[in-house]
Chains A and B, each alone.
Chain A
Amino acid sequence: MRRCLCASFLAAALLALPTGAALGQAVTPDWPCVQRLVPELALGQVWSGPPASGHGWQTDPETASLALELARRKMPLDAAGEAIASFAAGVPADQRAARLADLAKGVLELINGARADMIRGIRRYAQRQQALATRIAEESHGLKGLPPGRGSEVPPELAERKEQRDWDLRVYEDRQALLRQLCEEPVLLEQRAFALGRMMAANLP
C-alpha cells in the first residue's frame, strides 16, 4: 500500500482532504480535519453560572495561577477537580460564585489562545502537505515522459526520479498520519474546557 501510487491516492491527496462532509457537516475551506472546525469557544458554551466579577481574572494572583495550571493539559482532570474544590473552599461563601466565574473565564481565555495556535499550526501543516502532494503529482507525471528502458534494465534517470517520487510519497503519508493526530488536539482541548467548567459549576454555592 505504502509504495502503491494509485490514481485514487493522488486524487485524494490533491483534494487536500476537507472531509467534514463525511460526517454530514458543512465543509470549511482550507480546514483539513474531519473534525468540525470550532475556531473559538464562548463562555456560555462551558459555563452557565453567574457572570465574571469584571475585575479581570489576571488581577487576582491565586485565580490567575490556578487558571494557568488548569488550562495546561499536564494536569490530569482528577487533580484539576481537587484543585478547583480546594480553591472554592478557600474563598468566602459570598464571593465564591464570582471567583469561580472569574476562574472559568480565565481558563477559557487561555484554552482559546492555545487552540487558536493549534488551529493555525494545523492549517500551515496542511498547506505544506498540499504543496508536497502537488510536487508528487508533477513527479509522477514527469516519470511518464521518460523512456522505460529495455527488458529488465531501468535507465538511471528513471530509477533516480522514481526513487525521489517514492520518497516524497512516503514522507507525505507519514505526515498525513501525524496530521490526523494533530486534528484531534483542538477537540481534546474543547473537551477539557467543558469538563473544567462542569467541575467549577459543581463547586458553586
Chain B
Amino acid sequence: MTKRALPVAAMALLLAGAAAEAREIYVSNEKGNSITIIDGASLEVSATVPVGNRPRGIALSPDGRHLYICASDDDIIQVLDTQSRKIVAQLPSGPDPELLDLSPDGSLIYVANEDDNMVTVVDVASRNVVAEIPVGVEPEGMGVSHDGRWVVNTSETTNMAHFIDSESLEITDNVLVDQRPRFAEWTSDDAEVWVSAEIGGTVSVIDAAARGVTHKIAFSVQGVPREAVQPVGVRVTRDRSLAFVALGPANRVAVVDAQTYEVLDYLLVGQRVWQLAFSPDEAFIYSTNGVSNDISVIDVEARKVLRSIGVGRFPWGVAVRD
C-alpha cells in the first residue's frame, strides 16, 4: 500500500480528512479471529489482521490512530495501530467484553461485560480499570452521550436501559424497554437514545432528559416472519433526519424517518445483519452480515445497497475513519 510510504506530514494531512482515499473500514470477524481492513475508495480488502479470540465490538479513538477491539474470549481489549496495522497494546476489559464505547475525548473506555453483569471503565492512558459498575443481567449495548455526561448500558435479560452518571459512576435511572435490548444510540444533540430490542422486535426511543420511552418503532417486512425480525445495530444521522436499524436474520436494514419515526424502507443487505457504521461524511452506511460473511455498502441519500464486500468469518463490528 503506497500510503505506508507517505511522509509523516503528508499522512497528517490525509488524516485531517482532506482525502477521501484515506478512508478505511474496519470489520471484526467473530469466528475468523481477525480484523478486515477495507479501502474506503476502492472498496477492496487491503489487509486482514489476525487478532485475539472472538473479536466483537470495535471502536476508533477520536484521532483515528487506534482501533479498540473487544477480544471476547480472551477477556481483553486489544489496541490496533491503524498506521502500522499491528496490535500495539492491550487493555484490561473485565470478563467477556462484548461492546464498548469511548468518552468523547477518548480517555475512557466503557465496556459491557456480558458474563459478569458489569460495565467496566478503563483509563486508556494508564491502562487501568478505574471502575466496575454493577448493572442488569447480560449487559450488552453501550452508548456514551456526545457531551460525555451520561453512559447508557442495556442489559439483555433485565430488559432495561441503565443511565449511568459518568461523574459518580452510578446508575441514576432505569428505563424498561422491550425484550433483549442490544444496542444504544444517542442522537447527536443528546436529546434521545434509541435502544433496539432483538426479541421484542422494536426500537424504543427514549427521551434522555425525561428518562422515558416516547416512541416505539415496530418493523414488519413483507415475506419475513415476525420472529426473524430482530433489531440489533442502530445509527441515526447527525441531523436526525434518518435512522438505520439492522434487523438480524430478516437480512434487512430498516430506514426510518427519525423525525416522524415512520419506517420508510427495508433494504435487503446480507444474512444476519448485525452492526452498522456511517462513513464520517454520512454519505454511506456499512452493515456487517454475519452469515453471508460480507459487509454491505448503502448509499444513505439514495437509500440503495450499492454492493457487498466479502470479509472474514462472521463479521460482527464495524468502524470507519477518514
Chain A interface residues toward B at CB < 8 A? 23-24, 38, 42-48, 187, 190-191, 194-195, 198, 201
Indicate whether B270 reaches chain A with its CB closer than 8 angstroms.
yes
User: Given A24-B114, A47-B223, are A190 and B251 neighbors across the interface (CB < 8 Å)?
Assistant: no
A48 B268 Cβ-Cβ under 8 A? yes
User: Given A190-B271, A191-B271, are A45 and B291 neighbors across the interface (CB < 8 Å)?
Assistant: no
Identify 5 new A-B residue pairs, CB closer than 8 A, beyond the known A42-B225, A190-B271, A194-B292: A44-B250, A190-B291, A191-B293, A194-B270, A201-B268
User: Given A24-B114, A190-B271, A194-B270, are A43 and B291 neighbors across the interface (CB < 8 Å)?
Assistant: no
Indicate whether B163 reaches chain A with its CB closer than 8 angstroms.
no
Indicate whether B266 reaches chain A with its CB closer than 8 angstroms.
yes
A34 to B249, CA, bound (A): 16
Indicate whether B222 reaches chain A with its CB closer than 8 angstroms.
yes
B228 A42 Cβ-Cβ under 8 A? yes
Query: A43 — which chain B residues lie within 8 A by C-beta?
Result: 223
Most buried by B among A42, A43, A47, A191: A42
Q: Contact string, B102-119, partner A, CB cutoff 8 A, digits 1/0?
A: 000000000000100000
Question: Can you pick out 7 interface pairs between chain A and chain B where the beta carbons lie within 8 Å of each other?
Answer: A44-B222, A44-B250, A45-B250, A46-B268, A48-B267, A191-B271, A198-B308
Query: A45 — which chain B residues lie within 8 A by C-beta?
Result: 223-224, 228, 249-251, 271
A172 to B59, CA, bound (A): 43
Indicate whether B14 reaches chain A with its CB closer than 8 angstroms.
no
How far in angstroms is the closest Cβ of chain B from A49? 9
Contact partner, A195, options B30, B267, B292, Cβ 8 Å: B292
Q: Contact string, B270-289, partner A, CB cutoff 8 A, digits 1/0?
A: 11000000000000000000
A24 to B98, CA, bound (A): 10
A191 B221 Cβ-Cβ under 8 A? no
Query: B293 — which chain A residues lie within 8 A by C-beta?
Result: 191
| 6 residue pairs, one from A and one from B, having the closest CB atoms | A44-B223, A44-B224, A48-B268, A43-B223, A45-B251, A42-B224
Please report the total number of B residues contacting A with Cβ < 8 Å. 22
Query: B251 — which chain A residues lie within 8 A by C-beta?
Result: 45-46, 194
- Chain A residue nearest to B271 (CB atoms) is A194
A117 to B225, CA, bound (A): 21
A190 to B249, CA, bound (A): 11
A190 to B228, CA, bound (A): 14
B223 A42 Cβ-Cβ under 8 A? yes
Query: B291 — which chain A residues lie within 8 A by C-beta?
Result: 187, 190-191, 194
Most buried by A among B30, B98, B291: B291
Query: B266 — which chain A residues lie within 8 A by C-beta?
Result: 48
How far in angstroms is the closest Cβ of chain B from A21? 11
How far in angstroms is the closest Cβ of chain B from A111? 13
Query: B271 — which chain A residues lie within 8 A by C-beta?
Result: 45, 190-191, 194
- Chain A residue nearest to B225 (CB atoms) is A42
A86 to B157, CA, bound (A): 50
A46 to B269, CA, bound (A): 9
A118 to B308, CA, bound (A): 29
A130 to B222, CA, bound (A): 40
A15 to B71, CA, bound (A): 27
Query: B30 — which chain A residues lie within 8 A by C-beta?
Result: 23
Query: A194 — which chain B residues lie within 8 A by C-beta?
Result: 251, 270-271, 291-292
Q: Contact string, B213-231, partner A, CB cutoff 8 A, digits 1/0?
A: 0000000011111001000
Query: A187 — which chain B residues lie within 8 A by C-beta?
Result: 291
User: Given A48-B268, A194-B292, are A38 and B249 neighbors across the interface (CB < 8 Å)?
Assistant: yes
A191 to B251, CA, bound (A): 12
Query: A47 — which chain B residues lie within 8 A by C-beta?
Result: 223, 268
